[in-house]
Amino acid sequence: MTDPTPWRAMLAAALGVGVTPDRFWRLSLAEWRSLIAAPPTEILNRIAFAALAERFPDFKR
């Protein structure tokens, strides 16, 4: 019988990002999903941020 939950792979993934086993077992489902979520495909760099700030200023100059 195979285990439907890949505990070893999940623990290995957690260890890979610095989560210790004792903390792994205390993670909520939401925390686990956040931990293994794919990173955003596009990161907001300084140039893109400056363009957004210019387009949508917090205050009038």
Domain ranges of the chain: 7-55
User: Any idea what the Cα angle at residue 35 is, between residues 8 and 41, rounded to 5°?
Assistant: 120
Spatial distance between the Cα atoms of 13 and 26, rounded to a whole number of angstroms: 15
pTM of the complete model: 0.51
Render pLDDT for 19-48 as a digit per residue (tens, 0 to 9).
999 999 999 989 988 888 877 777 789 999
